[in-house]
């Protein structure tokens, strides 16, 4: 058989086969497709033909090479079909294929935020790093290297979460005898990161210490303002750092965050305090015409600063406040505002938390007025803590 002869084969009403040699044949389908097959006997018994692949995707030379490899197995009394199944099983048992199947089962019926986080673990970190490795070949060092890379971008908690997810996945694989050991259990959690406290709120003194440390640091002016705004606007970090100028109406004193940038995929309005408005207007002058409030300083100003920039800035600062992470700002605001006696519902809405029941439907105008009052009171409170150590006010209400 030659390529010229193969190309000349025309489809018929019924499929038909043309032999090459040594059990190799090509099957011509009514559709015109041409498929390589291998026909053989094992221990004197004719076996079902094996499919090699489509022509011309599989060339004549490649088809003959595959035939010869299978013929060696047949000569040894081994089944080429079993060898094909072993290859397919090995592919199925890569971290990517096995992991995504496991993930689909894990996220059934779970919340949107849980699904989003779990998919992010696999798609952003696990699959690019070890996705193509067979499950059984992953070593503790591979997972440690993966966690170290995540930590290096300023995300120790995500590194810890990734280790925990892989440990659960491998527990599942061990229980089903897919692998013998769990490589993630060799990594002690405390050596990756310390689990984040869910109850940490800065005291009034600590607020002052943190803010004074920020403004006394060598960080860029834009980063200092970002950290200050993160505290007094009560938003999440990426909601601030990825903000475009199109979301702001300074005349009305509002910042409308688009739904696709919010954790719950619902738009959120921030009522700007006098201090926040002054800071954003300064940032507008510093942004050099960028579409973003915090443009990247590396490469292009057409993208916002990196997600880890504020975390890295905080870690580089000398301060006496211990066990503090940026997300504590939101809990800190909630704690102090409740202590001041402000409406719990209004505080929850200012944090973009959902209020269930009839209260979540009515009195929106009242909540809006309360939220304006809350955010101004909170900015004033933060200012007061900053100035308790005879520090010249950085932003004060004239």
pLDDT of residue 394: 45
State residue 309 phi and psi, 5-degree precision.
-55, -45
Residue among 310, 278, 270, 316 nearest 294 (CA): 310
- Determine if the pTM surpasses 0.75: no
More reliable by pLDDT, 320 or 217: 217
Residue 105 CA to residue 352 CA, distance in Å, equals 30
In this prediction, residues 309-335 reach a mean pLDDT of: 82
Residue 153 CA to residue 282 CA, distance in Å, equals 28
Tell me the three state secondary structure of residue 61: helix
Helix or strand run (H / E) with residue 91: helix 80-92
pLDDT of residue 274: 96
pLDDT of residue 87: 61
- 252 pLDDT exceeds 70? yes
Residue among 140, 127, 262, 119 nearest 192 (CA): 140
DSSP character at residue 387: G
Helix or strand run (H / E) with residue 280: helix 274-286
Q: Which residues have CB under 8 Å from 251's CB, separation 6+?
A: none
pLDDT digits (tens, 9 = 90+) for 194-219: 555 556 788 899 899 999 999 998 89
- The token duo for 307 is 């997600």
Neighbours of 288 (CB within 10 A): 8
Tell me the three state secondary structure of residue 255: strand
For tokens 């088809």, name the residue: 63
Q: DSSP secondary structure string, 124-169?
A: IIIHHHHTTSBGGG--HHHHHHHHHHHHHTT-HHHHHHHHHHHHHH
Which of 5-14, 52-61, 296-305 is least confident?
A: 296-305
Residue among 1, 10, 82 nearest 40 (CA): 82
pLDDT of residue 397: 47
pLDDT of residue 363: 46
In this prediction, residues 348-359 reach a mean pLDDT of: 73
More reliable by pLDDT, 175 or 392: 175
Residue 297 CA to residue 290 CA, distance in Å, equals 11
Asked if 61 contacts 73 with a C-beta cutoff of 8 angstroms, the reply is no
Q: Which residues have CB under 8 Å from 47's CB, separation 6+?
A: 40, 41, 79, 81
In this prediction, residues 246-250 reach a mean pLDDT of: 96
What's the half-sphere exposure (Cβ side, CA atoms, 13 Å) at 224? 16
pLDDT of residue 192: 78
Residue among 250, 394, 230 nearest 328 (CA): 230
List the 16-19 sheet strands across, edge first. 16-19, 24-28, 34-38, 50-55
pLDDT of residue 286: 92
pLDDT digits (tens, 9 = 90+) for 143-202: 999 999 988 887 887 888 899 899 989 988 887 777 888 999 888 877 776 555 556 788
In terms of average pLDDT, the best of 69-78, 108-117, 301-310 is 69-78
More reliable by pLDDT, 371 or 321: 371
Mean pLDDT over the full length of the chain: 86
pLDDT of residue 24: 95
CA 195 to chain centre: 19
pLDDT digits (tens, 9 = 90+) for 94-128: 899 899 989 998 888 877 777 888 899 999 999 99
pLDDT digits (tens, 9 = 90+) for 11-48: 999 999 999 999 999 999 998 999 999 999 988 888 88
pLDDT of residue 113: 76
Strand partners, 54: 35
In this prediction, residues 369-388 reach a mean pLDDT of: 92
- The token duo for 50 is 């094996």
Torsion 146-240-225-288 (CA) sign? positive
pLDDT of residue 89: 58
- 358 pLDDT exceeds 60? no
Confidence tier at 92 by pLDDT (50, 70, 90): low
């Amino acid at each position: 058989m030659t390529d010229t002869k193969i190309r000349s084969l025309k489809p018929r009403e019924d499929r038909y086969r043309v032999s090459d040699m040594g059990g190799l044949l090509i099957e011509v389908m009514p559709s015109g497709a041409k498929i390589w097959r291998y026909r053989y006997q094992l221990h004197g018994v004719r076996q079902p033909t094996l499919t090699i692949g489509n022509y011309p995707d599989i060339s004549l030379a490649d088809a003959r090479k595959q035939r010869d490899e299978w013929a060696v197995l047949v000569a040894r009394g081994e089944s080429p079909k079993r060898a094909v199944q072993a290859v397919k099983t090995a592919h199925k048992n890569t971290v990517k294929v096995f992991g995504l199947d496991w993930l689909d089962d894990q996220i059934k019926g779970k919340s949107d935020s849980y699904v989003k986080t779990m998919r992010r673990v696999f798609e952003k970190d696990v699959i690019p790093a070890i996705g193509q490795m067979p499950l059984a070949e992953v070593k503790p060092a591979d997972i440690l290297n993966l966690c170290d890379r995540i930590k290096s971008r300023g995300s120790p908690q995500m590194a810890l979460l990734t280790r925990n997810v892989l440990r659960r996945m491998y527990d599942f694989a061990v229980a089903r005898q897919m692998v013998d050991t769990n490589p993630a259990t060799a990594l002690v959690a405390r050596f990756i990161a310390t689990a984040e406290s869910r109850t940490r709120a800065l005291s009034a003194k600590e607020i002052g210490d943190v803010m004074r440390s920020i403004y006394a640091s060598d960080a860029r002016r834009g980063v200092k303002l970002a950290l200050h705004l993160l505290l007094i606007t009560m938003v999440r970090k990426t909601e601030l750092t990825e903000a475009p100028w199109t979301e702001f109406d300074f005349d009305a004193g509002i910042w409308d965050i688009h739904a696709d940038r919010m954790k719950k995929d619902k738009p959120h309005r921030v009522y700007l305090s006098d201090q926040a408005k002054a800071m954003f207007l300064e940032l507008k002058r510093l942004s050099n015409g960028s579409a973003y409030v915090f443009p990247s300083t590396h490469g292009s100003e057409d993208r916002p600063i990196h997600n880890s920039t504020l975390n890295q800035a905080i870690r580089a600062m000398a301060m006496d406040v211990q066990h503090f992470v940026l997300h504590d700002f939101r809990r800190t605001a909630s704690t102090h505002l409740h202590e001041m006696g402000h409406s719990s519902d209004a505080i929850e809405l200012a944090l973009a938390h959902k209020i269930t029941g009839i209260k979540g439907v009515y009195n929106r105008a009242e909540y809006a007025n309360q939220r304006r009052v809350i955010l101004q009171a909170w900015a004033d409170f933060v200012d007061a803590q900053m100035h308790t150590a005879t520090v010249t006010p950085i932003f004060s209400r004239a």
